[in-house]
Amino acid sequence: MAVKTFEDYFNRLKKMKSNVYINGEKVSRTDERLRPGINVIKETYDCANNPEFEDICVTTSHLTGEKISRFCHIHQSVEDLLKKQLMTRLLCHRVGGCIQRCMGIDAMNALSVVTYEMDQMLGTDHYERFKNYLKYFQENDLCANCAQTDAKGDRLRRPHEQKDRDMYLRIVETREDGIVVRGAKLHNTIAPYADEIIVIPTRFMTDKDSEYAVAFAIPADTEGVKIVARYAYQHKRKHLKAPIAKFGDAESFTIFDDVFVPNERVFLNGKSDPRQTPFAGYLALLFAHFHRHSYTGCKPAISEVLASATALVAEYNGIEKESHVKEKLSHLIGTAELVFAAGQASAYRGEKSESGTYIPDEILTNVGRRLAGEEIYNEYKILADIAGGLAATLPMEGDFYAQETKELLNKYMVRNPNISAEDQHRCFRFIENILVSELAGVMQVAGLHGGGSPQMETITMMSRYDVNSLKNIAKYLAGIEDKLPRYERPTVTPKKMLEKFRMLFKGK
Ligand SMILES: Cc1cc2nc3c(=O)[nH]c(=O)nc-3n(C[C@H](O)[C@H](O)[C@H](O)COP(=O)(O)OP(=O)(O)OC[C@H]3O[C@@H](n4cnc5c(N)ncnc54)[C@H](O)[C@@H]3O)c2cc1C
């Protein structure tokens, strides 16, 4: 069985070379500031080893037939897509936020499709390389960051047009046995405590951008990689132990300061073979697509965590039966359900690509992720509204246990006399964690931009949606056309999406 334990993962981290930087210090991966994020990853290993979650978190490798973690799996069916979404939702409930491990496997799924397509069209051997890497990834139950977002410099300029050519990660040297890359990938969740960094392009590349059309995977402590981490913290607790208090997260600037990548770990190389350059955009798009589908699992969970706090604090505040409270709670529930439903429907409409990998529906995934992004601040507003100001002004935990203040604080803490002061304190301490903490601030921005900002989903969706089929309805109803053509859902299925890309590449 290739499902590993948290101890296996943590022992690997302990052995890694120190290349993580926090606030001016070079630290080991056991640094206590990274521990809250590592605790999140622990949940993914613990649940895979817990019989209660085995049907969701464990699956069978299509390569080796061995039992593996779903975080190492390439989707082989509609059921796999549904289970990935469900697993993400369940695990996010357990950590009260982002589960962080999804992006590695979203990148692997995208690579499985694109390397296969590239081999078919260009006669390269990238799919074989990828499969070898996947086997290693699955056998060791590895944890990966996907480093996609480049520094990007001037947003309106293409990579080759930037004043500083390193604003997008690029190949600076080609050797017989590999390539040397330079650049920086930003906002990299999990990178400070990941085994591997999977690098893929962030956008479509033109012929002039060939040196930027590169994808590869390397151990996170490879020579020349510098991971400058920014951790998000909670106030430390001494007395009120609670699951939410032990979780956190860290993002990084992952800097590639002339890093050697051996050929067997390179999956796209437009510099050596410019025919590969158009596949950069295809890979960028497909990763975003799989990752947005993951968002239709995690984002409902985050809405539900907010809804759970809203419902509980409404009860403690004695206002749960008020109509405006029910209305606001229903909005949170409705958003969670709609986003999840979009992801589910896109899984049901998922199609098998020629590589064997299942790809969810494009339009539905994007509308689901966009709704999540558009609603995020409204959802936090609802919780802030119902909780009142105390979530932001709650005295420090120690004062609830200090001789001089404890009785007074517990007395004035009480809203509902039937509930203990400690439980009411616990409820507001929890809301402090998810609404006004450092981590809560990061989660809000993540809810907007992670996986691509709503504007990106709009662009993806509208570049493929057939608006003419909508106009047909208006033309018929307005009497401009006599006949209304039979309505076909105006979407681009993965199969059509692949065909479109194939035509594009054949034209090259
Ligand atoms: C908490 C968090 C975790 C993340 N984790 C990861 C990760 O693990 N890996 C990873 O690769 N990325 C990660 N991201 C990055 C995320 O995908 C990006 O933040 C997102 O794609 C937006 O890119 P940006 O931050 O560069 O913003 P920008 O692209 O700079 O966007 C800012 C604004 O500029 C607009 N804009 C940008 N370009 C143009 C243009 N050409 N024309 C018109 N308007 C434009 C955008 O629409 C937006 O309104 C994470 C982000 C967050 C917040």
| Whole-Å CA distances, 368 to 140, 297, 474 | 33, 10, 26
For residues 81 and 350, the answer to whether their CB atoms sit within 8 Å is yes
Q: Which residues pair with 228 in a beta bridge?
A: 21, 253
For residue 453, report the distance from its CA to the centre of ligand 1, in Å: 6
How far is the first Cα of the chain from the last one, in angstroms, to the nearest whole number?
45
Task: Name residue 459's amino acid.
Answer: I
Q: Which helix (H) or strand (E) holds 174?
A: strand 170-175
Pocket probe for ligand 1: among 155, 162, 252, 287, the residue whose CB has the most ligand atoms within 8 Å is 155
User: Using one digit for the tens of pLDDT, what is the confidence trace for 79-118?
Assistant: 999 999 999 999 999 999 999 999 999 999 999 999 999 9
User: Using one digit for the tens of pLDDT, what is the confidence trace for 470-501?
Assistant: 899 999 999 999 999 887 775 556 666 677 77
Integer Cα distance of 331 and 326 in angstroms: 9
Name the token pair of 179: 């390539």
For residue 452, report the distance from its CA to the centre of ligand 1, in Å: 6
For residue 449, report the distance from its CA to the centre of ligand 1, in Å: 6
Query: Closest Cα to residue 362, out of 371, 351, 373?
Result: 351
For residues 290 and 109, the answer to whether their CB atoms sit within 8 Å is yes
Task: Indicate whether residue 443 lines ligand 1 (CB < 6 A).
Answer: no
Of all residues in the chain, what percent are helix, strand and coil, respectively (each to 5)? 55, 15, 30
Integer Cα distance of 418 and 403 in angstroms: 24
Integer Cα distance of 198 and 103 in angstroms: 9
In three-state secondary structure terms, 62 is coil
User: Using one digit for the tens of pLDDT, what is the confidence trace for 146-200?
Assistant: 999 999 999 999 999 999 999 999 999 999 999 999 999 999 999 999 999 999 9
Task: Indicate whether residue 155 lines ligand 1 (CB < 6 A).
Answer: yes
Residue 39: HSE in the Cβ half-sphere, 13 Å Cα cutoff: 18
For residue 168, report the distance from its CA to the centre of ligand 1, in Å: 14
Integer Cα distance of 379 and 359 in angstroms: 30
Atom of ligand 1 nearest to the CA of 448: 53
Torsions phi, psi for 298 (to 5 deg): -80, -40
User: What is the structure's pLDDT at 452?
Assistant: 87
Task: Indicate whether residue 453 lines ligand 1 (CB < 6 A).
Answer: yes
Name the token pair of 281: 């955009």
Kindly give the pairing relationship between strand 196-199 and strand 144-147: parallel
Task: Indicate whether residue 188 lines ligand 1 (CB < 6 A).
Answer: yes
For residue 167, report the distance from its CA to the centre of ligand 1, in Å: 14
Q: Does residue 133 carry a pLDDT above 90? A: yes
Task: Indicate whether residue 254 lines ligand 1 (CB < 6 A).
Answer: no
- DSSP per residue, 176-218: TTEEEEEEEE-S-TTGGG-SEEEE--SS---GGGGGG-EEEEE
For residues 179 and 222, the answer to whether their CB atoms sit within 8 Å is no
User: What is the structure's pLDDT at 381?
Assistant: 98
Q: Does residue 508 carry a pLDDT above 60? A: no
Residues of the chain with CATH 2.40.110.10: 6-288
Task: Name residue 248's amino acid.
Answer: G
At 506, the pLDDT band (50, 70, 90 cuts) reads low
Q: Whose CA is nearest to atom 30 of ligand 1?
A: 155
Residues of the chain with CATH 1.20.140.10: 296-462
Q: Whose CA is nearest to atom 38 of ligand 1?
A: 155
Task: Indicate whether residue 146 lines ligand 1 (CB < 6 A).
Answer: yes
Task: Indicate whether residue 426 lines ligand 1 (CB < 6 A).
Answer: no
Integer Cα distance of 143 and 69 in angstroms: 10
For residue 369, report the distance from its CA to the centre of ligand 1, in Å: 14
Task: Name residue 295's amino acid.
Answer: Y
User: What is the structure's pLDDT at 465?
Assistant: 83
Give strand ranges (E) for 32-162. Answer: 58-60, 67-69, 144-147
Query: Closest Cα to residue 317, out of 391, 264, 224?
Result: 391
User: Using one digit for the tens of pLDDT, what is the confidence trace for 8-23?
Assistant: 999 999 999 999 999 9
Burial class (CB in 10 A: 0-12, 13-18, 19+), 448: middle
In three-state secondary structure terms, 69 is strand
Atom of ligand 1 nearest to the CA of 251: 3
Helix axes 438-449, 362-387, angle to 10 degrees: 150
Integer Cα distance of 33 and 229 in angstroms: 10
For residue 314, report the distance from its CA to the centre of ligand 1, in Å: 35
Residue 343: HSE in the Cβ half-sphere, 13 Å Cα cutoff: 34
Q: Whose CA is nearest to atom 25 of ligand 1?
A: 449
User: Using one digit for the tens of pLDDT, what is the confidence trace for 367-412?
Assistant: 999 999 999 999 999 999 999 999 999 999 999 999 999 999 999 9
Integer Cα distance of 317 and 315 in angstroms: 5
Task: Indicate whether residue 339 lines ligand 1 (CB < 6 A).
Answer: no
Who wins on pLDDT, 272 or 506?
A: 272
Task: Indicate whether residue 149 lines ligand 1 (CB < 6 A).
Answer: yes
For residue 395, report the distance from its CA to the centre of ligand 1, in Å: 36
Atom of ligand 1 nearest to the CA of 191: 8
Task: Indicate whether residue 158 lines ligand 1 (CB < 6 A).
Answer: no
Name the token pair of 394: 């709650």
Q: C-alpha 250: how far from its chain's center?
A: 13
How many helices (H) does the chain have, and how many strands (E)?
16, 14
Q: Whose CA is nearest to atom 28 of ligand 1?
A: 155
Assign domain 6-288 to a CATH class. Answer: mainly beta
Q: Which helix (H) or strand (E) holds 485?
A: none
Summarize the confidence of residues 290-319 as an average pLDDT.
97
Task: Indicate whether residue 294 lines ligand 1 (CB < 6 A).
Answer: no
Atom of ligand 1 nearest to the CA of 202: 11
Share of the chain above pLDDT 70, in %: 97
Integer Cα distance of 138 and 68 in angstroms: 6
Q: Does residue 505 carry a pLDDT above 70? A: no
CB atoms within 10 A of CB 126: 22
Pocket probe for ligand 1: among 98, 453, 457, 462, the residue whose CB has the most ligand atoms within 8 Å is 453
Q: Give the homologous superfamily in CATH for domain 296-462.
A: Butyryl-CoA Dehydrogenase, subunit A, domain 3 (1.20.140.10)
What are the residues whose beta carbons fall under 8 Å from the beta carbon of 431, sequence distance 6 or more? 309, 313, 383, 387, 391
Task: Indicate whether residue 454 lines ligand 1 (CB < 6 A).
Answer: no
Q: Which helix (H) or strand (E) holds 31?
A: none
Atom of ligand 1 nearest to the CA of 190: 8
Integer Cα distance of 504 and 184 in angstroms: 29
